[in-house]
Structure 1
Amino acid sequence: MKKFKSPLSIYVFWHPKFKEGKKYANTIYDTFSGDNEHATHAKYNIPVNYRTSKYNDDIFIGVPYSESKKNALVILVDQNMFDDPEWVIAINDLLKKKPASARIFPISFSDYAFDLNPEFLSPVQFIKTEQKSPNVGNDFIYNNRIIKYRLLESISKFIFNKKEDYDTEKDSDPPIKLFISHAKKDGLTLAKEFKSHIDSETKLKTFFDANDIADGHQFEKEIKTHINSSAFVIFNTDEYANREWCRKEVIIAKRYRCPIVAVLNLSKGEKRSFPYSGNFPTITWDNNFDEIINLILAQVISDKYNELYLNNIVDMYGLEKKYSCITLPKAPELFNYIDIENFKKENKNIKPFIVLYPDPPIGLEEINLLNDIDNNIKFITPLMLPTYIHEL
């Protein structure tokens, strides 16, 4: 069996005298690995590791870069870290060994944070906070909101990048693009407000409507191209499911396995809800731009991390040698039989068939419905895999 490598690991560094350091680290853990009280809806368990303690009088600050395919180094630079020569040396040694597959995300909590490491940190864009001294403790809520969004946005770009040969030292990660799907009859105003907020307050990009398609290009082809490279945001209003192109866009997004979220803004209700508009996170509209954006970014991370994680599981167990196997970045649904049938058409030698999807397992009532189509297909999660391997 091959050794498993996490698609991404996060390391949070802070000086032990930074009073709120652990508090910030805990919120980063909650965002990317903990349950987070369903605040992001999206499910992933990215390893988040703390680096702050001392071990045998030496700062224990190493990172086992080779154990993960990508590593994110979040450094909380406060005055204590800047004033401690041991930490200055340790951070320098850490960054000297940083491979191209690792990314630094420094956060400033001191006016001198940018001078901690002129060679490796100074050229990097910091996440800036309002707290300039460890003695100022009233800015945590504001700072935490900024840090949460900026890390979600930065790490979603870092992990979503599909280019295997991408030079992470020389090139910037391409921005996350949001495809804003809406019904013009009753969703245009809200969609415009959302786009305006994205354009003015974030580093994200948007695809809004036909105005974003270059003249002379095929409309449907361009729509498919933009959806395929975007996170898909539905503004689900009363008229949304009545519009042919809204329904088409949802189906296209599902076929391309795009990260999808729906913003619910129903006034009177729908004549008929669209049956394929489900199995993704939803959030109710309440002028909550920040929550919506964080949810979208969390879903981008969830889908991509789960895709990479499950592919690594398949590779580690060598599943494709014994089984016909497809992976899904989210819970299975009847729509996924399209993937299954396409797989069967492309592969003549079909072995015992498993569909691997992220934990937790779905309920028995859903499994029974899926198996009504084909009782020979096993829908399993990584936790269920060892048992099913022996049974198959």
Structure 2
Amino acid sequence: MISRHFDGIGMERDGVAYRVPVRFASAPWRPGLPLPRPVDLSRADHNAVVLLHDDFMDEQASEWDQFLQSTRAAMEARGNADVYIPFCDYSGSAIPASDSGRNTQYVYRKGWTGLNEIARDKRLLLHILVQIRRHLRKLSADDRDEPLFVSHAKADGDTAAREIVDYVQSPGHDVPLHTFYDAMELNPGEDFKARFDAEISRGTLIAIVSDVYDSRPWCVFELTTAKRHRRPIVLADIGGVRVSRTFPYGANLPRVRLDAGGPVGSWIDPLLVEAMSEGLRCDVFLAQAAKVAAAASEVLVMPRPPELFDVIDAEVCPRVILYPDPPLGDIEARLVVRAMAAMRSDSELKTLGEYRA
């Protein structure tokens, strides 16, 4: 399940999507020994080592504990490049001795026993995604929690937004996120526009796209602010009857169709997984692009396909707009290129693959 999810985590065309490879370490490597092949950490710049502790490991507790010790020693030898994400089994049994001696915090899954299998899988993915993204922020010297900003129209999106916020904030749901909801989060006398901008500029935005969302000025402000700061955005479509006006710059973003009338957990956990997956895709792309474009001047790195908004909104048109593969289609690319050329004659539009070439 983890492999299927991470094997197609982002932009897709003709069935080909952005891939984060997942490797298994479970089957015995040598006859007579229960342990798998040692994890080869050198195959990636960064690794997330996910331990799924279970009763089979308890049957060979000593051997598996040695495997964990050697794996963690190899991780420590690489500095802070990698992250360790351990999960207890559903019975809540004792964790391996070496991790206990290190006072290692585990994700305790005993409280998940009331969830069905699909819900447990989504909760597992959510924890993995959040911890990987936290680790990447630490590597960039940003140890702050990232807020989940829930953008919505009060008229017909408030119920769904409130359900998301209540669900995330409930201690019983074990959701490792915190939310920013609306003006009720502000202190009296605070500049609410500046605070909204600050929260959006470092957060992941879920837009509850209801029938009237696109016509509300504050919703447009929140969505365009997230785009301007190049933040992860997921559109949660709860439209019911008729949209009188579609805001054109809600394009080039993942959109999830929600049945917000169903059981709360059945649609909120999958939505949170989509939001964190989009966030991880953006994180990884920006890190990859920085390796090849960090020293280049006048390069605007976009974690999503560019559009007219990005060109016209820029204070100075960049020489190159760099964005993820696959390339834009001819019609869409022609519009963006013409807008760039009107502002700067030597401008170019390139995917990361084209730029590397």
Same fold per TM (> 0.5)? yes
Q: 1:192 aligns with which of 162, 182, 188?
A: 162
Unaligned residue ranges in structure 1 (runs of 5+):
1-26, 133-138, 167-172, 345-352
2:246 is the alignment partner of 1:273:
yes
**Separation in 2, partners of 1:140, 1:106:** 19
Displacement of 1:267 in angstroms is 2.3
**Separation in 2, partners of 1:43, 1:269:** 32
2:292 is the alignment partner of 1:329:
no
| SS of residue in 1 equivalent to 2:353 | coil
Deviations 1:48-107, CA, capped at 9 Å, x for gaps:
233345556685214435941x32111122333333344321221221332333221112
Deviations 1:143-201, CA, capped at 9 Å, x for gaps:
42332222123223333x266346xxxxxx64431111111122222221221112112
Deviations 1:91-140, CA, capped at 9 Å, x for gaps:
212213323332211123365451342456652223526899xxxxxx85
Q: 1:104 aligns with which of 78, 81, 84?
A: 84
Identify the range of structure 1 (74-83 vs 288-297) with the bigger mean alpha-carbon deviation: 74-83
Is the Cα–Cα contact under 8 Å of residues 305 and 328 in structure 2 kept in the other structure? yes
2:47 is the alignment partner of 1:71:
yes
Is the Cα–Cα contact under 8 Å of residues 129 and 143 in structure 1 kept in the other structure? no
| SS of residue in 1 equivalent to 2:325 | coil
Is the Cα–Cα contact under 8 Å of residues 235 and 263 in structure 1 kept in the other structure? yes
| SS of residue in 2 equivalent to 1:330 | coil
**Separation in 1, partners of 2:208, 2:248:** 16
Structure 1 segment 296-307 matched on structure 2, within 5 A: 296-307=275-286
**Paired letter, 2:196:** I
2:133 is the alignment partner of 1:117:
no
Structure 1 residues 42, 75: closer, same or farther in 2, change over 3 A? farther
Structure 1 residues 273, 113: closer, same or farther in 2, change over 3 A? same
Q: 2:148 aligns with which of 174, 178, 185?
A: 178
2:19 is the alignment partner of 1:45:
yes
2:187 is the alignment partner of 1:214:
yes
Q: 2:347 aligns with which of 368, 377, 380?
A: 377
Residue aligning to 1:260? 233
Higher relative contact order (CA 8 A, sep 6+): 1
Alignment length (residue pairs): 333
Displacement of 1:31 in angstroms is 1.7
**Separation in 2, partners of 1:207, 1:131:** 25
Unaligned residue ranges in structure 2 (runs of 5+):
261-266
Structure 1 segment 244-259 matched on structure 2, within 5 A: 244-259=217-232
2:56 is the alignment partner of 1:80:
yes
**Separation in 1, partners of 2:58, 2:239:** 52
- TM-score scaled by length of structure 2: 0.81
**Separation in 2, partners of 1:194, 1:237:** 15
Is the Cα–Cα contact under 8 Å of residues 233 and 253 in structure 2 kept in the other structure? yes
Is the Cα–Cα contact under 8 Å of residues 29 and 37 in structure 2 kept in the other structure? yes
Q: Give aligned-pair identity as a percent.
A: 24
